Amino acid sequence: MIIEVRMILNKTFILFYIFSFCSVLLFAKTNEVFSTIEFGFEAGSEITENRYHEYWDKGISINSFAIVPYYYGSFELGFQYTEYKAKENKAKDLEDISISLGWGKSIPIFKKVELYNSVSFVNHIMKIIYTSEISSESEISLNINSQVKYNFLGNYKFIAGIKYSTMYTFHKINHSFYFIGISYSINTPAFIKRFLQ
């Protein structure tokens, strides 16, 4: 039953993102290159359970990002911290620190509301915390991210989103997260724009 539900969720996510990115191609407009930087901060947790949760309970996830427009979309740099608390006698605590680089695009929906979709490649640095030592390993994943952004005050936006991640360990592990947060946009300083160009 759980496997069937996961398969349905996976197919739903895939169809949703295919539709979203087709919409990007239809409605995309050329952005002014490097004109702004959007900084964001989000907090959330996992939605569904996977192999991890046989050994660890769901913990909090904190995500930060910077988005810079570039012609037909935007470059995205992200940092995420996720903690997992060990279930009794099954494992030790686990911390996952990841760095991602991606490409995304915003689609206007209403006057102050937009849908932002992105795809990113991620490097995970995972630390297993024992009583007297810490061991670590590195893994990669592919993330698909979708956010609804509401511009509620000046350059501030409220964010609510979901992130679907496939981690390529020996056995692939799928993660689904929800996040809520806030972002703030600035005009890119001239010296940074010159450096990027």
How does pLDDT run across 71-96, given as a tens digit for each residue?
A: 888 999 999 999 988 887 767 888 99
Query: Where exactly are the structural domains of the chain?
Result: 2-196
Q: Please calculate the CA angle 170-176-177 and round it to the nearest 5 degrees.
A: 130
CATH of domain 2-196: 2.40.160.20
Looking at residue 55, what DSSP letter applies?
T
Residue among 103, 119, 115 at smallest CA distance from 148: 115
Q: What is the mean pLDDT of residues 34-46?
A: 94
- How far is it, in rounded angstroms, from Cα 62 to Cα 124? 14
Residue among 59, 64, 62 at smallest CA distance from 46: 59
pLDDT for res 28: 46
Positive or negative torsion for Cα 134, 124, 66, 23: negative
Beta-carbon-side half-sphere exposure of residue 67 (alpha carbons within 13 Å): 22
Q: pTM here?
A: 0.78
* Cα 155 to the center of its chain, rounded Å: 21
Are 114 and 122 in contact by the 8 Å Cβ rule? The answer is: no
pLDDT surpassing 70 at residue 5? no
Tell me the pLDDT band of 40, cut-offs 50, 70 and 90. Answer: very high
pLDDT surpassing 80 at residue 23? no
**What Rg do the C-alpha atoms of the chain give, in angstroms?**
18
- How far is it, in rounded angstroms, from Cα 120 to Cα 84? 23
Write out pLDDT tens, residues 161-184.
Answer: 999 999 988 778 888 999 999 999
